[in-house]
Amino acid sequence: MPLLRSFIDWQRRLSRRFDELLPASLTTDGNRDFLDRFSLAFLAPGLRVYDVGGGKHPWLDAASKADRSIVVVGLDIDARELAQAPAGGYDETLCADITRYEGRGDADLVVCQSLLEHLPDNDRAFHALSSMLKPGGRALIFVPSRNALFARLNLLLPQALKRRLLFAIYPESRAGQGFASFYHRCTPRDFEALAARHGLLVRETRLYFQSAYFTFFAPLHVAWRLWSLAFRALRGAQAAETFCMALEKPRAR
């Protein structure tokens, strides 16, 4: 096992070196960009924020929240996850299924990071997100695309096998990955349609073409890169590995 671990680590280093030859547009980590840049641009003092699906990992740390006098409501289907959040991470917690939740219309900002791919019905989820927002409020979403090769493999493989492979190759993923995924309508085009259906305007979209799922074997990673370049040339935005969106609920006229 130590020998296999050393081999995988070596292959991951080789994959990273290969990626250093590519332009930044192909190597930006979408999840990190969403957390470190995209979502933080929407912060303002005094907001009421709903962190949907954050569980034990709130989007905003307690110090940043307190500095800006921001109120954060943590909403998650798992009460145990919410209970494990750091002290001060949430001002209020709600244990609810987002596909069945009806909001209060009091949110200035809703943050939904790496959740929607795990839901079987994103039409209902978009209804819930819209119902949570006050007029002028915004929802920030980050999600892997259904069209990504890793997502297609995820849909094909049995859940138990996927978890064993994932945790064996990437042991650090045990803390927050391995949940069942459906990728229901998880493409930029489908999310634009869902937003329009539920009265939300798409204010900004960012596309990312980076993922690390095949870095454990450098030749496979390079082959995936060549495939993704060809797929992007054919399908454009629909070929994104992951993407994020800023949606806005219009003000009444």
DSSP string, 132-172: HEEEEEEEEEEEE-TTSHHHHHHHHS-HHHHHHHHHHH-GG
Q: Give the burial class of 175: count Cβ atoms within 10 A of its Cβ; 0-12 exposed, 13-18 middle, 19 or more buried.
A: exposed
| pLDDT score of 153 | 87
34 exposure class (CB count in 10 Å sphere: 0-12, 13-18, 19+): buried
Exposure on the CB side of residue 133, measured as CA atoms within 13 A: 28
Report d(CA 102, CA 165) in Å as an integer.
37
Tokens of 19: 């990626």
Per-residue confidence (pLDDT) for residue 180, from 0 to 100? 84
Please name the residues in contact with 240: beta carbons below 8 A apart, sequence gap of 6 or more: 145, 147, 148, 188, 207, 208, 209
Is the pLDDT score of 215 beyond 90? Answer: yes
Q: Does 161 have pLDDT greater than 60?
A: yes
Are 167 and 178 within 8 A, CB to CB? yes
Mean pLDDT estimate for the chain: 92
Write out pLDDT tens, residues 191-207.
999 999 999 999 999 99
Whether 91 shows a pLDDT value over 90: the answer reads yes
pLDDT at 167: 62
Report whether pLDDT(80) > 80. yes
Which pLDDT band, with edges at 50, 70 and 90, does 158 fall under? low
Region 242-251: what's the mean pLDDT?
97
What's residue 183's pLDDT? 96
More confident site: 134 or 181: 134
What is the structure's pLDDT at 165? 65
Contact 231, 150 (CB under 8 A): no
- Token code pair at residue 52: 């949907």
Comparison of pLDDT for 161 and 209, the residue scoring more: 209
In this model, does residue 175 exceed pLDDT 70? no
Give 89's DSSP letter.
S
Query: Which three-class secondary structure state does DSSP give residue 44?
Result: coil
Q: How far is CA 243 from the centre of its chain?
A: 8
